[in-house]
Amino acid sequence: MGKVIKVGMADLNVAKSGDCLTTLGLGSCIGITLYDPISKVAGLAHIMLPSSKSIKNNSNPAKFADTAMDILIDKMIKAGARKTRLVSKIAGGAQMFSFSTKNDLMKIGQRNAIATKEILKEKGIRLIGDDTGGNFGRTIEINSDTGILFIKTIGKGTKEI
């Protein structure tokens, strides 16, 4: 059994040789996982916002979908992954509270999911698993041996994608 590496909010990390990456209690944020099935290198970023471009306080690149993706890909290549082989699974992007139509920020989950998919397309990385949306939180774990993404919720059961 490998070890389980915890990734916090606005943070990212890479795992290999049987280790797992996990992030707990994703709400509107997105857990972006990347995986190279040949070198068995996995990466996970827990992003909070779609883009670093419109925000003043953008000193932490792991907070934004656009900047986190670049750093995660670099880190994975350094760990032995090849960019052309990377596939992605994403989870999160929920809307935790049920109203607030006028408040754009409340739809941040949806905006995060859209931005993440656009960036993946830009980078030429295939999205092979998507568990975004809804109004509930998720804990996710990716296994670097199999690339399987395990998703746990409260009241909505667990699943694997």
Partner 1 sequence: MKITLDEINNEQMDVLKEIGNIGAGNATTALATMLNKRIDMKVPKVDILEFNEVTELLGGAEKKICGINFDVDGDINGNIMFLLNMDSSKKLANMLMNKEDHVEELSEWDISALQEVGNILSGAYVRSLTTLTQLDMKISIPSLTVDMAGAILSVPIIQYGQVGDKVLLIETELNEGNNNIKGYFFLIPDVESFEILLKSLGVLE
One-letter amino acid for residue 128 of the chain: I
Dihedral Cα 78, 66, 7, 145, nearest 10 deg: -50
One residue of 1, 38, 84, 99 binding partner 1 per CB under 8 A = 99
20 is catalytic: no
147 binds partner 1 (CB under 8 A): no
Distance CA 44, CA 50 (A): 16
Answer yes or no whether residue 138 interacts with partner 1 by CB under 8 A.
yes
**By CB under 8 A, what part of segment 59-98 binds partner 1?**
60, 63, 94, 96-98
Residues making contact with partner 1 (CB under 8 A)? 8-10, 24-29, 48-49, 55-57, 60, 63, 94, 96-100, 102-103, 105-106, 108, 135-139, 154
Catalytic residue IDs: 29
